[in-house]
Structure 1
């Protein structure tokens, strides 16, 4: 492994480098992207070097799988999880994920630690340096860089410097606090219980979820014989520090699901409270935030880890472009413009799911019935809901007069020669897709051609969103003169 593992500084920090604080999935993906682009990067983590097999996140959605595919990781992670192509919610709503316009027309139930293992291996192979047992205690920044004050495992204070710092260090982010950013919001529900258990009885559905009265429960398999259970009993609102045993979890399951499926052999149990919070800014000068350091929300919809990974995919290529001299630092402003609205939308949707699940008054139950019926019967409503939860429906702002595709996610289209877009994106560069007869010369883009007879010229960003597009003119001529700059990024 490159760099150090005991928390001391190393020679990969300094001008032109990045310090990523926090080695969860968001930090690992971002650090790996930067290192793959040739940027010196050190990942700073206050924990010892380990990947825990006890983690809260366990769902990977379609858009995240597409981003992992663009890094050559999706297939191996899918092999470690359970594919779920159909959901049944609240006893009446069936959602068929097979209609998703994605190669990954399903959700994947897989422990967070399996995702972390794959991302950590990639980061090491790309040349990321690691500073474990290194806790951030302060931060100062100037016009040319940022200096972190850190404390190592032996209690020694040190400094680490870089051109940029990214805080991916969770809800209690030391980086966010060091730059003085508030984290407004509130606790939504308390005493949510989590457990990984074995079951004596196998549930009828791969994913089991229901709410009755004051109780809500959710069960999903990991594929290794254990099941993740999430539960909440409104009538038992206690502090996080209250001891938790398996009998309490079984009781919640019986209340919400009618039976506890013979839960036994819990390998992990935890009680926590769920907050809805978002930082007002994801960037303060040369310091940026991503993942839970920037936004937290309820676990409903399984969007937490997914949103963080998509933050990292958006930010990585932009930081690399700035540090490699291919873009003005103003490009980093688009990170806030594009990802902050997504974080806000996830807060709304996850909170809405929780409120709908826990409806108990006659009028709220009636509203839930209407909403689930609408989603069940009206395809546009269903598609919008699925697009937001899975991430494939989000689009980024585009300049006035831009082509209709600009800012939209580009699906994994087939390319000439038997390849596909997300394989082509593995180089970490822009991909320009042209009609068969068209050519383009110049600029650091990978040129591909449609496998179909499509006539659009389409420039795809490294994160899989359309940056520019052109249609045939009146004489049928395709413009391949990609603008030198778009969204602040220079092709020269």
Structure 2
């Protein structure tokens, strides 16, 4: 793009859910001009089914100085019991956040919106995307406001983070292959008369399944499904239906009462073939949607945003030696993760729905395997929590390039505290690091430099802003 061509904003983000808010906040913190548009009016409650924040997402929020504040809004679970016999010990996760945080999605959005606004993001609520066009230099978005008045905005790049019914994906004419995996799921936030035996429970009977998790403030999230009650999403749902499903699946409804929210929905398994079309990129539910089993939806979208934000920043700053290759790496790194989440969440929900003797035997076998074979349980917890996700190393790099960087204690502080600068962190032995490879998408002037606490360590490690290893010295 020529330096004289004017745009309204450098990056236009469509969708002010968790994914769009984290992305916009990252870009604005890095000095990028960002406009975020959202079709909902500002302040409208966004009650959704997302309620769990996994370990890797908490690490990403820690790198933005938000994790500890978010932890105070909910309750942490160290263990999860599935199918009445599988007990997952989350304390074995190799993370400062070796647990699952149960907190409503709106708490995540509240912190991310505050951060984005403080960083200077321009918000435009009650604004709907109607069409978009792009050329070699810009993206043009045609929008309408609350009064129906048209508005046109141009940007260097546009990111669609506008959910499963993405207007951005529709405007690109991209397919969204897949289908419904489960219909007529009921969901509610309730209070209980009886204390549950397990803080987090998932179980099923021949014709029903349910799970229950605490928010930590006296409210519980309950979700259920009944094979005998398959009705459209528009069919009313009441507490009696949720009680009956819970009794059949868990053996008791624990005296649930006073629901603050009840809904019915269906769950799809879908993934767009390409997360990038020219200057337009997709993230979160706009790119992939899957069953709620495992609670990975919001978490996967937030990690999409963390992966994409530093890459867009490097391109717009002129730090990327090969901008096209760097943006293409968003697809090559995150598309396989989205596909893996579809597989694991789909497997979990199918196990929960098991009703024939063969499928129930398979569920028992899977539970026994994960209970007795520690590497299998570790791998499963690593995938669900995000801790075990790794990317292919850059060309010519050696392992552990591409892997998640642990939160090392350094002379200057914890690694994830240093990542709060939003820049690459170079960890080196005392005496100075070697020269960085020319392919590293980072300006040496912006590096955060750190030193190992152990003087015997002689390697140098370059950590990306999203907490993954970019390069290791030989």
TM-score normalised according to structure 2 size: 0.95
The counterpart of 2:316, out of the listed 291, 307, 323, is 323
Q: Which residue, out of 408, 421, 431, partners 1:427?
A: 421
Residue 244 of structure 2 is aligned to residue 266 of structure 1: no
Equivalent residues of 1:15, 1:145 under 8 A apart? no
The yes-or-no answer on 1:458 pairing with 2:461 is: yes
Aligned to 1:9: none
Counterpart for residue 144 of structure 1: 137
SS at match of 1:277: strand
Equivalent residue for 2:25, pick from 27, 32, 41? 32
Q: Is the 8 A contact 2:394 2:402 kept in 1?
A: no
| Contact 2:74–2:102 (8 Å) recurs in 1 | yes
Match of 2:430 in 1: 436
Task: Write the deviation string for residues 27-50 of structure 1: whole angstroms up to 9, x where unpaired.
Answer: 000000000011100110011001
Matched pairs, number: 458
Contact 1:210 / 1:357 at 8 angstroms: preserved in 2?
yes
Cα RMSD (Å): 1.3
Could you report, residue by residue, the CA deviation over 1:104-154 in whole angstroms, capped at 9, with x for unpaired residues? Answer: 011100110010000000001000000011000111111111111101101
SS in 2 for 1:250: helix
Q: Give, in angstroms, the shift of residue 440 of structure 1.
A: 5.6
Q: Distance in 2 between matches of 1:17 and 1:465?
A: 26
Alignment counterpart, residue 339 of structure 1, candidates 334, 344, 354 = 334
1:107-256 maps to which residues of 2 (within 5 A)?
107-256=100-249
CA deviations over 1:421-441 (Å, ceiling 9, x no partner): 000101111101112333468
- Residue 254 of structure 1 deviates from its aligned partner by 0.6
Alignment partner for residue 282 of structure 2, among 289, 292, 295? 289
Counterpart residue number, 2:441? none
Partner of 1:365: 360
Listed as ranges, the gaps of 5+ residues in structure 2 are 1-5, 436-443
Distance in 1 of aligned mates of 2:279 and 2:178: 25
Counterpart-to-counterpart distance in 2, 1:431 and 1:92: 43
**Aligned CA distance change for structure 1 residues 51 and 317 (closer, same or farther; 3 Å):** farther
* 3-state SS of paired residue (1:315): helix
1:200 Cα shift?
1.0
In 2: Cα distance, 1:405 partner to 1:321 partner: 22
Instruction: Supply the distance in 2 between the matched residues of 1:69 and 1:51 (Cα, whole angstroms).
Output: 27
Which one of the candidate residues 63, 66, 70 is aligned to 2:59?
66
8 Å CA contact retained: 2:134, 2:140: yes
Q: Residues 440 and 447 of structure 1 are in contact (CA less than 8 Å); yes or no, is this contact kept in structure 2?
A: no
Superimposed CA distance per residue, residues 197-248 of structure 1 (whole angstroms, 9 cap, x where no aligned partner) = 1111111111122111110011111122211110000111111111111100
Contact 2:8 2:153 in 1 (8 A): no
1:457–1:469 Cα contact (<8 Å) kept: yes
On the 8 A contact 1:16/1:323 being kept in 2, the answer is: no
- Report if aligned partners of 2:186, 2:265 keep a CA contact under 8 Å in 1: yes
CA deviation after TM superposition for structure 1 residue 401, in Å: 4.4
- Give 5+ residue unaligned stretches, structure 1: 1-12, 472-492
2:68 to 66, 71, 75: 75
Task: State the partner residue of 1:392.
Answer: 387
**1:399, distance to aligned residue in structure 2 (A):** 3.9
Alignment check: 8 A CA contact 2:9 2:34 kept: no
Superposed CA deviations along residues 5-42 of structure 1, whole A, max 9, x for unmatched, are: xxxxxxxx926611100000000000000000111001
Rounded to whole Å, the distance in 1 between the matches of 2:81 and 2:213 is 12
1:469 aligns with 2:472: yes
Looking at structure 1, the residues matched to 275 and 360 of structure 2 have their Cα atoms a distance apart, in angstroms, of 37
Q: Secondary structure at 2:409's aligned position in 1?
A: coil
- C-alpha distance in 2 between matches for 1:283 and 1:404: 27
- Aligned partner of residue 14 in structure 1, secondary structure: coil
Contact 2:394–2:470, Cα closer than 8 Å, also in 1: no
* Mapping for residues 399-418 of structure 1, pairs under 5 Å: 399=394, 401-417=396-412
Using the alignment, how far apart are the partners of 2:200 and 2:46 within structure 1? 21
Counterparts of 1:85 and 1:454, CA distance in 2: 33
Partner of 2:95: 102
Aligned residues of 1:51 and 1:116 also touching (Cα < 8 A): no
Equivalent pair of 2:192/2:255 in contact (CA under 8 Å): yes
Taking structure 1 as the reference length, the TM-score comes to 0.91
For 1:468, what is the secondary structure of its paired residue? strand
CA distance in 1, matches of 2:9, 2:285: 26
Report the CA distance between 1:54 and its aligned residue.
2.2
